[in-house]
Amino acid sequence: MNALDVSELLSLIDNGVKDLASSERTIQAINEFQSDPLVLDNRLPDYIADLTRGVLEKSSEEQYAISEIFYNFCKVCTWKKVRRQLNPDIYHLPTVLGLLKEEHNSEKHWKFHYLCLIWLSLLSMSPFKLENGPEVYEVANTFQSSPLFKPVISSIHSELFIRNKELFWEHLAAGDIEITALRMMLKHLAASSLQVQIEFITEEFLNEIVHKVVNEHFDTEEQGIEVIKMLPKLCHLQLGRGNWDSVEELISFFFMHIGRPFTEFRYKLARNLGKIVNSINKYDPNLSLELVESVLNDTVELIDNQASDAIDIDMLHSYLLILAELARFKLLQKEHLQLINDKVIPRTISFQQLRMSSIMGQRIRDATNYICWSIARNVTDIPHDINRSLTFSLLMNSMTDYDHVIRRSSSAALQELIGRHGFRIMNHAIIVKIVELPVSNLSNCFEENLINIINGFGAEPECIGFILDWLLNITILQNYHIPTVKHACKTFSKVYTHKGEYKDIVKKRILDFGIRAKVDAFNGSKFIYLFNTLPVEVQEKEGLTLSVQCFGRLLENKVTATGSAIQEFKILCYLKFVAQYPDYVFDEEAVTYLFQLIRIIQDTDQDFEEIGKLYNTLIAAASAKGDTMFKDASSKSLFWETFYKFVRFNNTLSCSALPNVSPSMFKQCFYQLVPSMDCNSKATLIDTVREDISKVKSMDLLYDILDLLDDYTITERGDVGRIVRTSVARLIQKHLSQFTTDPKMKEKCSNKLLRLIGETQDELKQLSFTILKTMYNTSYDDDLGSFNANILQFYHSNFKGNREFWKGYIMSAGAIHSTDKQITSAIDEFLRYYATLTEEEQLELTNELIRIVPSAKELQDIKANGIKQSILGGTSREITKQTITMVTFWHRIFESGIKIHPQFNFKGVFAKFYNLQLSKQSSSLRLAIIRIFPLLSSSHSLNTKDRVASIEFTNTVLKTLWKMTTAIKTPGALSTLQCTALNSIAVILLEHEKAELAKKLLSNTVGTKPDLNGLEVKELLIA
């Protein structure tokens, strides 16, 4: 909000609290300050005074309006701030109590109760004991069922207890004091005078409260937080009296609930336990030291004695948060820091647990960053080795963790650490570079930042070793997040190939990694991926041997289904090995397993694209190497038989790989198998051709591929032919010269793209227009006009008279299922273009647009013989729907008042439309034609000077419509077709100022028993 907005809003609120007539606008204005309530805070005294003045005596409706505004002030500024502004006059107490006692059935009165309760909480803060305290307690207690009211009620109860000791003991004995009231009471007592504390805070009082708290059972996070928040105050009071048994009870309570599954509760538990240990440190430093060491040892034991997947993640999270809080209170000594650095952080900074299909551990890693931040901020002299270890751990975690939130928290801790302690381990220039590294984009972190970091520490082999070890041991070996594993492998490869001085260091680590990775299938697959990411020329023999061993481990744990990223990754690594290992030979068992994997891969799997590329490589190698890739002839035969069977069965990966067979075989299979492929398979095949068009040696095949631009296959998923058309268009765009060298191919390509630029698919029409502009070396400034204006100009300049353009454009301008904006643009730009033509050009264009509409004979022939299929399969547009769209286009331009040349053959158009509806192909088509007849008649009248001919044409239309109405004999209500015909007649009558006759016509046909016998056609004719 700018200053002017704030001023206007404040003025609106200022008037609104005085004049309730505009309460809705006042509430809206108040809520505008939710993100910055400070401006309202400063004006609350005046606002609340004006708003609540005399509220207790006002009418029920006025009270409701006031309480609505009051509630929104509380929501934005908090109820405690608003409470301070109410009138504290104790004489209001009876009235407020009386209003709260009233029975209200209306839902709207709860906000007025809210106002009264907050007022009651202010009045209960009176410095003297209220005589009717028990009554106030009970009245407030009747509203406990509302969660919104509970904090206010607890405030009232706590104030009453402080001023009425007997009331407190009565309800404590009854066990009905809520924990929140107890917490507030302790808070008030801590701020009370010494006399009040001495009188109230007795050993009995404290013991009773401790007993109630430690035996409190809670099932919700909110209840637990209320209990935890009061413990530091209790502990502080007990410490002051030396009640160490009670202190021990309170500490035990913390550890009893350390594994609770409530995240916010664990944060509060850690924060408040830190406060307690800090308080104990002032009275008994040895005991606080024991507590610190107990927490630290429990944490280490939890981590050391169990595998990561078996650790109680909630308990570990609590321990880490406690350690962070202990660091914040400066309770950690150097030996504690050393243990945390050596035993805790290396395990928790990258902690992950695999749970079904999800990865857990984000909170553990975030808590670890919090420990580092707390140490950096509160420890003044961090030992050099710890400082260095923490710095590099945070640096690497801020670059390599897959979770953006964790990278940011690592970066924040890192900046705190190097800002305060970095000068001890690195120079200023490196510190500045590290601080400036962005962490938002994971790919950039790996591909750019890590390389820059390695370059920055190039003179320090120890640092380089730390970075490489982190990539291998943590980011790859201990990681379940597959995309991050891939990033790390590629970065490692880049370091290996581009930093020659590190070659020996990297090589040794790769081999050590392979030895550790080969023990199980998942880590073995990681080594296969890493090793095969290295360029072939730098792959060492020892690495190949380890890769073979890892592959053997992978085969021992065969994948039978996908569904998890890890299973997909294993399939990917299997293919990476068999496609790239130079001496791999397939036997029948290997062939069978390969195609089992290909069968279970889905096109929605995250590794689908990478698997597809490897499969393509494998098929190309099998085709090129021939017998050498197979153990025997039966293995080879099984391989190719299964592959072609998969193609016939529309396996997407196999269809995509088909262009990788020999050119002659590809051409033969192309014409045999493509017609039976589904659209997804065709599209992936075309995409493979696009990647390497040299696989296609036949220009005839490329010429025929253009026919796939006519694929309009419709399934339950909609226009799936679109993905085929888009793939072909992208193929043309990438290899334009292949489609424009031969004039015949260029013409075919241009015509099909010309049609596509006028159709409804935005992405495809934009792509097609881009290609055409390149082909004909033209450009258009999109700011000068709409897309439709540009394509009309392009058509006029380069393809005037080409019917293909209009076949596409009509589909946009006549579209039924499209947005109003798209339809309006198509029609408006057409009319603008039409207006620029000469009369002869207009006549020629309208004649062409009518010729495009299929005739009745064409519809009948298609119905009898079916749509002629392309040699590559695919379905053309459904002819009836296409015809309806074309009729709709004419309906819209007639409706827009288009000027038609007098020589335009209206009678011929009428006859064509009439014959179309006679074919009875579709009721929707018949209705569309009947609706256009009045517009055809009107256009004829407007554009023909011959009055007699105009009337004759109109009467012909009327007779035809009347015939349609009366030809069908219905015993009950009229059919939709008859009603539409009658409406069309009425429109024509209204056009010729025969409103009474139109009214009579429609009134005689309303109801379940319409009467058409009272009218004759001659009454309808225009004289």
Distance CA 394, CA 376 (A): 12
Q: Closest Cα partner for 786 from 765, 801, 804?
A: 765
Distance CA 445, CA 451 (A): 9
Instruction: Give all strands (DSSP E) within 264-385, no chain letters.
Output: 353-355, 358-360
> Which residue type is seen at 362?
Q
> Which residue type is seen at 611?
I
pLDDT at position 286, please? 94
pLDDT at position 1014, please? 61
Distance CA 573, CA 397 (A): 26
307 by DSSP, 3-state: which?
Answer: coil
Q: Closest Cα partner for 48 from 23, 82, 71, 75?
A: 82
Domain boundaries, the chain: 258-423, 841-944, 958-1023
Under a CB-based contact definition with an 8 Å cutoff, are residues 746 and 739 in contact?
Answer: yes
pLDDT at position 530, please? 93
905 by DSSP, 3-state: which?
Answer: coil
pLDDT at position 690, please? 94
Structure tokens of 169? 């003991």
pTM: 0.79
pLDDT digits (tens, 9 = 90+) for 84-139: 999 888 888 888 888 888 765 455 578 889 999 999 999 988 887 888 888 888 88
Distance CA 451, CA 456 (A): 9
> Which residue type is seen at 406?
I
Write the Ramachandran bin of 141: left for phi over 0, alpha for psi from -120 to 50, otherwise beta: alpha
- HSE, CB side, 13 Å, CA atoms: give it for residue 136: 35
pLDDT at position 708, please? 94
Task: Give the mean pLDDT per block of 10 residues along the chain (1023 residues).
Answer: 70 86 87 87 88 86 89 90 90 87 64 90 85 87 86 89 84 82 81 70 80 79 86 85 88 90 93 95 94 96 89 95 96 95 96 89 97 96 94 95 96 94 85 88 92 78 86 93 95 78 79 89 93 82 89 88 87 93 90 94 89 94 90 94 94 94 90 91 94 88 93 89 95 94 94 94 93 90 74 92 94 90 92 94 94 89 73 84 93 92 91 86 87 91 85 88 76 78 87 81 61 67 76
pLDDT at position 105, please? 47
